[in-house]
Amino acid sequence: MTIATPTRRAFLAGGVAAIGATRLMSTTALAALDPNSFSGRTFHATHYGPFEAVVRDGRLVGVNAIMELDARPTEMLSYGVMDRTYDRTRVNYPMVRKSYLEGWESGDIKPELRGKEEWVKVDWDTAWSLTAKALLDTATNHGNEAIFSSSYGGWSNAGSFRPNVLQGRLLNLMGGCTNTAGDWSAGAGQVCLPHIIGDMEVYSAQSAWETIRDETEVFVLVGCDPIKNNRVEFRVADHGMYAHWEEIRDAGVRFISINPQRTASDEFLNAELTRIIPNTDTALFLAMAYHVLENGLEDRAYLDRYTVGADKWIAYVKGETDGQPKTPAWASAITGIEEQRIRDLAELIAGKKTCIAASWAIQRAQHGEMTYWSLINFAALLGKIGKPGQGVGFSWHYGNGGMPQGGNATPVGMSQGRNFVKKIVPASRITEALENPGVEFFYNGQTNTYPDVRMIFNAGNNFMSHQQDTNRLIRALQKVETIVCVDVWWTAATRWADIVLPAASTLEQDDITSGGTYSNDRVYAMKKVIEPVGESLPDFEIFEGLADKLGLWPQFTDSEDKMYHIKLAYEASGAAKEIPFEEFWEKGYARMPVPDAARKWTRHGAFYEDPDANPLHTSSGRIEMFCETIAAMEIEDCPGMPVWLEKHEYLGAARPGQLHVVSPHPWFRLHSQMANSERLRELYMIQGREPVRINSQDAAERGIEDGDLVELYNERGTVIAGAVVSDHIMPGVVSIYEGGWPQLDSKGRCNSGLANFLTSTQRTSGLAQASTANTALVEMRKCEDPDGPNMAYHPPAIIEDMEIAAIDDEVLGLERLEALTASLYADMGPGEKMFFERCTVCHAPREVTHYTQQQWKGIVPSMFERAGFDEAERELVMDYLMMNAADAVQ
């Protein structure tokens, strides 16, 4: 470091970093409504809701929900938040895998021992030094594209200063890295739907709930479970739609559920269940379309005015192009639904004001693009899209879909800056990329090549529990030289890493966030409640320290402390127009208005009212029932219209005894988060393992009783789970929640029940390259030889007293960074800066080059709404996107 380059050490020595924190951190929230209550309360907010934390003698002792902000808090808030704060799975100190620590200079790091050997407690300087050296070694020897960020999603905490955002900022300062494209939640939908209906849809606002209550007669849930999935939020849950779902139900709306199993929403909404063989929804909607056409129930005028390509698709439905009419009898054999029921459903939906709500789960299947497309075509055939109380929606189960939109600006994040690496890996293709460096692949209309990944940097993401075929991933990771993980707990991702940087939980640092994915009507202070546990550090300080080691501290921090950036984030929000920051921080939250007009808003309503003045952002401006753009790509497993395609694994192709396994989102977790809450596990686990729902007939045939341990297995792996025998799931199907934490026993079985040891890496199609987690077959038997208790929720073996020599900075080669980055830096334009500050902190695309100009036009309406841009800001960001999209002329 030179005197001219400020350092973090000098900054801290001057005492500047403490200014904002000490002044604001100690304030309380609502000061406890009970005047006799203990006053040591601090406002905080999480994915599970806002709350007051009760602290005694520096220790969190209680979590109090706040009625006026969240009337229906869940057990994840009341039990989980406190449980996991002090759980034995906390990573309390910087850790390095033993062989990596012993061999970091020689290169003999024994990657095959990841997940098996002991960890060594080290100091922060050692951890930062080894991480900095690995980054520089990788970039120098193999190029920045060899650094792969697996930190997609940003679900690790609800704040604006999420670890994946901070990681992106730091890595881009040193030239960037290979990022994921798309995401895990809705990878197929977010790629295909902009071509078909001009918007990503999966992250878009739904029609305001009052329009459903007042206009809808039939509401169809296709694999959709809003009562369960809205228990959590990408930002802060407030469970605002629950009372409104009750109003909709009590107003007489008839709910139909199409699902292999009865769900919480089915119970709550009194839905009529139609059981369907998993992965066959496309066949069902094709057959209903056939019945509609046979009986003249289609809306020809609507097709002519609002769609393109209808005749080509109708010819396919009738069997004119392939010789197979898509009759109810044809679909009955595929879906397991009786012919007459298919006819009845078609006539009911056609004859009533109907809204069709589809889950993200149904597109996490082979040919998932076809499933979404078939729903859209069926609704368009009936002339329903854009009419009040009708149409299609792909986000009713997320972010309190149905709440009116506030259109308010929300707090910004720190800009991630420009990534100079253009290599990508689709989010579900990590294993394939590791196995196939340099191999070409097709994604979203573009031909790419997989990078030669030598280092993985993972911040706030449990990718080891997300990726399919976990055993295959473990083998593929052996070629990677260094895996760094920033996390709070010993998750699967940390256990298979080399260097673990222990992060403080959100309760142990200050942050800011907003509430209501679509309503955007609240800003929340995430105030520091307790001091960091052990030697963990807030994410900002972890990346601040690494930036300091790399000589990038002033660029990373703008030479300011985190509270300075939190205040800037607040000032960018709509709340700042009315409420000063100090007042907001004292209270803990600020409300923002929602316009009255938003309460009557209908999705695609403007398009329906005047398609010429309000065209969709598709190539034609209409709903593309046949899409020339997709057809021209000539993708074998994704034609230009929705057709039925056989699956490589489903009950229609199963051997005797095989079962179809589905892995929905859990009730008591957010993916893998909260799995380490002991009190929550006691509510749902069976003999310490994940529960698996089994039809009573399937259980009886295998001698399995409720509460038994069972083995689910296929050629990819074996998991042990606890049987929940039920007639609320159809025969031939078993259901085990995703997101479990793994533990391999002596026989190589997952002793905890992580579903992804069973799932396949098969892609949805060559268009989206997305996950097919719900396309998998297994066999099942009673487990007679469990290999001891489940140890997934215990820390690994740790060596705490190993003598470690200090690392000389000269060995790290830190001077190499200047040569790497000297030619890279350029000033960011205002549109680029706003995109990375306001758009990439949410559930939206992070890289402009991943989408075409036309696709961006379809993505930005909902993205701009969440970002709260005014017209001038929208224009600046749009100009940046158009100039840098995948098909822009450079």
Q: What contacts 147, CB < 8 A, 6 or more positions away? A: 135, 138, 139, 171, 177, 178, 421, 453, 454, 455, 457
**Cα 432 to Cα 429: distance, rounded to the nearest angstrom:** 5
In the structure encoding, which two tokens stand for residue 713, read together?
């297995």
**Cα 800 to Cα 463: distance, rounded to the nearest angstrom:** 27
Distances (CA, A) of 881 to 380, 525, 846: 30, 31, 11
**Cα 276 to Cα 263: distance, rounded to the nearest angstrom:** 13
Catalytically annotated residues: 152, 155
Residue with tokens 């606890």: 722
**Cα 22 to Cα 26: distance, rounded to the nearest angstrom:** 7
Q: What contacts 808, CB < 8 A, 6 or more positions away? A: none
**Cα 783 to Cα 621: distance, rounded to the nearest angstrom:** 56
In the structure encoding, which two tokens stand for residue 215, read together?
């206009």
CB 556 within 8 A of CB 170: yes
Cβ–Cβ contacts within 10 Å for residue 766, how many?
A: 16
**Sign (positive or negative) of CA dihedral 697, 703, 704, 709:** negative
Of 586, 221, 572, residue with least CA distance to 375: 221
In the structure encoding, which two tokens stand for residue 600, read together?
């009557």
Q: What contacts 294, CB < 8 A, 6 or more positions away? A: none
**Cα 754 to Cα 790: distance, rounded to the nearest angstrom:** 12
**Cα 532 to Cα 539: distance, rounded to the nearest angstrom:** 11
Per residue, what are the HEC states of 118-131?
CEEECCHHHHHHHH
Which phi and psi angles does 320 have, rounded to 5°? Answer: -75, -20
**Cα 617 to Cα 611: distance, rounded to the nearest angstrom:** 11
**Cα 259 to Cα 254: distance, rounded to the nearest angstrom:** 16
